[in-house]
Amino acid sequence: MEGPFNLLTENDWKQLLRNARRIAFKKDEVLIEEGATSKILYILREGYVRVDRNHDGQSLTYARLGPGELFGEMSFLEQADASASVIAEDDVEADAIDGPFLTSLLASEPGFSARFYNSLAVTLSHRLRDISVNLGELNLNEIAQVSRFHRTRLGHITDQQIPQELEDEIEIFQNVMSELNSGLRRRKIEESDVQSQVNARCNRMIDLLDQYTQPEALVEIGYDDLMSFRDTSHLDIGIGAYIFRETFNIFMLSQLIAHCYMKPRGFADDFMTSEMIYENEPQGDGRLGPFIDAWFESRPFCTARREIRELLTQIILQEAIEDTGVFYVTNLASGSCRELFDTCARAGNKVIETNCLDVDKDALAFAANLAKETGHADRFTFMQENVIAMSEGRGKFTIRPQEFIYSLGLFDYLSDEQAVNLLNWIHDHLQDGRDTMITNYHPSMPDKYFLDHILEWKINYRDADELVGLFSASKFTNAPEIKTVESGVNQVAICRK
């Protein structure tokens, strides 16, 4: 038999299964409960089970097992209570081998015992290796994770190279913001006037970032101090750093901007960022904070995030409605997966089974709680998984062929090589004739210089041709259909296997 016991002989198998019981379980039936005493070793014969553990009061899936795989071995080896629950995902059949019988067999047959424990050692070694690799990848900031330490911005530009117009405009920005704050304190200005002026001055800062980080402008800036001429990439950092230093105390009054800059959870784009953008309820520190927050919430980057949620909901819903049976959908780097909750709310009685994969346990727990609150918990399975490791064959899940696989935002952070690897994984796990969908910000996104220089938020922008190129370099043979949101700065690529 291939799998965990491939070192056993034919005679070993006959002895092992002599007293085994073939047991059937229905969907959602619990085979092993976390914390319970279990002295049974299971070999899965048909169907799939998931391995769940409790995190912050929510049940998260840490592994999925398929035919030929083993579970219950840790409790048997350690003679300890189960560290996780094992739950049937559909109708399941398994061979159950009672602990006392197995212990007696191991004691009476030295050869069998050696081969059995050797098999278990190899299985556990493979699992430990996968865990070690995944932990290493987390520490290496994979999957849109970033360093908590911000980059050095000093020494890239001299005072002589700072354009006079830029200095003047920043002085105006600072003075206007100070006057607005004073007006609010004295209640001598209408809030609508404050918002209008905040919008105008903040938009002007983005325009200046765009203007003075263009190649032609950077070359001219470099020639303003020939003795300190630097490569244009250094000058680009210098201009951004100058604007950052002069405006930091003002922009960081915004709750959303401060969260995006500080990245308190270590991710460039975490689920809380999306939740703040979706809620669109401006907040911040001081009198000006909420107005600056409202300005950023109205910028194309944020409006496109809300637009893409609605567009994805419409696409997923249409795919589900056209499906005649159970609609199996997998969401990669799922975050709070609001678009799936929107889909379920509109899908009526349509049977939808979702797999939500994310490396962030807190995001999964947050979404799991939403699933309970909205009454859709039976439609969701939340799995902690490093998607990049999974696409390279180092994942810990067995997954059935899916009707639909998609990702919102993940490809913004993947290199072309990583993107193609993930598309190949999607192709291998997608049913024939079914669709995948990915999103990517377009290079024309007006806020990219603000994200780069003020928020230190790096995105791999791609246009439609570049998205088509990713699919053509993968196992997909069809060209994707490209759709854009109303603002035009975010795109959806849909491709059929």
What gap in Å lies between CA 448 and CA 459, rounded to an integer? Answer: 8
CB contact set of 319 (below 8 Å; sequence gap of 6+): 327, 329, 403, 404, 435
What gap in Å lies between CA 21 and CA 31, rounded to an integer? Answer: 14
Which tokens hold the place of 334?
Answer: 């799922």
Question: Cβ–Cβ contacts within 10 Å for residue 90, how many?
Answer: 15
Q: Which CATH number fits domain 305-496: 1.10.10.10, 3.40.109.10, 3.40.50.150, 2.130.10.10?
A: 3.40.50.150
**In the predicted structure, residue 1 carries a pLDDT above the cut 50:** no
Widest Cα–Cα separation across the chain: 92
CB contact set of 273 (below 8 Å; sequence gap of 6+): 256, 259, 260
**Predicted local confidence at residue 138, as pLDDT:** 44
What would the pLDDT profile of 76-89 be if each residue is shown by its tens digit? 777 777 888 898 98
Sheet with 40-46, strands from edge to edge, namely 21-25, 92-98, 40-46, 70-71
Average pLDDT value for residue range 95-115? 85
Yes or no: say if 40 and 98 are a contact pair by the CB < 8 Å rule.
Answer: yes
Question: Cβ–Cβ contacts within 10 Å for residue 283, how many?
Answer: 14
What would the pLDDT profile of 125-147 be if each residue is shown by its tens digit? 666 665 555 544 444 344 454 44
What gap in Å lies between CA 355 and CA 373, rounded to an integer? Answer: 18
What would the pLDDT profile of 283-306 be if each residue is shown by its tens digit? 999 999 999 999 999 999 999 999
In terms of pLDDT, which residue wins out, 124 or 220?
220
State which amino acid sits at residue 431.
Answer: Q
Q: Strand runs (DSSP E) across 56-190, as ranges?
A: 58-65, 70-71, 85-88, 92-98
Range of weakest confidence among 141-150, 194-203, 344-353, 451-460? 141-150
pTM of the model: 0.78
Average pLDDT value for residue range 192-218? 94
CB contact set of 469 (below 8 Å; sequence gap of 6+): none
Helix axes 289-297 and 255-262, enclosed angle (nearest 10):
70
Average pLDDT value for residue range 144-161? 65
DSSP-assigned beta bridge partners for residue 483: 492
Yes or no: domain 10-139 corresponds to CATH 2.60.120.10: yes
Q: What average pLDDT is seen over the chain?
A: 87
Yes or no: say if 229 and 223 are a contact pair by the CB < 8 Å rule.
Answer: yes
What gap in Å lies between CA 98 and CA 41, rounded to an integer? Answer: 7
For 285, what's the count of Cα atoms within 13 Å in the CB-facing half-sphere?
A: 9
**Predicted local confidence at residue 133, as pLDDT:** 52
Residue 390, Cα to own-chain centre: how many angstroms?
13
Hey, what's the torsion of the CAs at 412, 418, 423, 428, to 10 degrees? Answer: -150
Ranges of each domain in the chain: 10-139, 159-298, 305-496
3-state class of 381 per DSSP? Answer: strand
Yes or no: say if 415 and 461 are a contact pair by the CB < 8 Å rule.
Answer: no
Range of weakest confidence among 70-74, 155-159, 212-216, 312-316? 155-159
Average pLDDT value for residue range 250-276? 90
In terms of pLDDT, which residue wins out, 129 or 180?
180
What would the pLDDT profile of 413-441 be if each residue is shown by its tens digit? 999 999 999 999 999 999 999 999 999 99
DSSP-assigned beta bridge partners for residue 490: 441
Segment (H or E) for 330: strand 327-332
DSSP-assigned beta bridge partners for residue 55: 58
Residue holding tokens 């032609």? 216
**Predicted local confidence at residue 267, as pLDDT:** 76
